[in-house]
A and B are shown apart, each in its own frame.
Chain A
Amino acid sequence: GDSVTQMEGPVTLSEEAFLTINCTYTATGYPSLFWYVQYPGEGLQLLLKATKADDKGSNKGFEATYRKETTSFHLEKGSVQVSDSAVYFCALSEKSQGAQKLVFGQGTRLTINP
């Protein structure tokens, strides 16, 4: 089946640093790609998504570009804030049993220090 591999964490940065969290995927088709964020003690929130090759998803200063040639969807932010501390999940949508399911990476815990 399809799979997602994320950069191992935890990642610790200082406020205003540049952030990259790597994500690569293996898929037989052309899945949609997502980044979800989980703040401490909360559920998952969609951060951004891209549905086809070369699409760029963006939200709250975060960006990720769907790169079919490198099967990647790396998350970037130019200047992180303490409030960005959370666990970030890369995911793809996979067709299964006639429906769609999300396949997640293992998550990357990000801590931003003031």
Chain B
Amino acid sequence: DTAVSQTPKYLVTQMGNDKSIKCEQNLGHDTMYWYKQDSKKFLKIMFSYNNKELIINETVPNRFSPKSPDKAHLNLHINSLELGDSAVYFCASSQDIAGGGTQYFGPGTRLLVL
């Protein structure tokens, strides 16, 4: 029944490693997003995809590479992890691309880089 799901829920890894986070939505939405929440709870958008096409890229380091195999999935791959990448990463989806549509969020992936 989960609308937006993410795996894994927790991820602990060493600096320099490469890791991926997966996101899936079963809402039939066309648009998906990745947000980053830092240690002070501040949330900021990273990427948005519409129908598998990248439409928003908010000056994120190119160590972060999103991939959308189909419109129900948006994965996030991170190369050469750094301490500052430790955060909670949220996936979201919405129906509207340019309207005031509601975004539905996944449970988050808590990434800790040691």
Q: Which residues of A contact B (CB under 8 A)?
A: 31-32, 34, 36, 38, 42-46, 49, 51, 87, 89, 93, 95-104, 106-107, 109
Contacts and interface: CB of A to CB of B under 8 A. Distances in A.
A28 B58 CA distance: 19
Interface residues of B, number: 31
A38 B31 CA distance: 22
Nearest to B47: A101
Contacts, number: 75
Contacts of A46: 102-104
Contact of A99 (B44, B56, B104, B106): B56
Nearest to B110: A41
B106 A49 contact: no
B105 A100 contact: no
A45 B102 CA distance: 10
B98 interface: yes
A106 B98 contact: no
Contacts of B66: none
A51 B105 contact: no
B105 A43 contact: yes
Contacts of B44: 104
A63 to B, nearest CB: 17
B99 interface: yes
A97 B99 CA distance: 13
A43 B56 contact: no
A100 B98 CA distance: 5
Nearest to A33: B100
Contacts of B90: 43-44
B99 A100 contact: yes
Contact of B45 (A51, A95, A102): A102
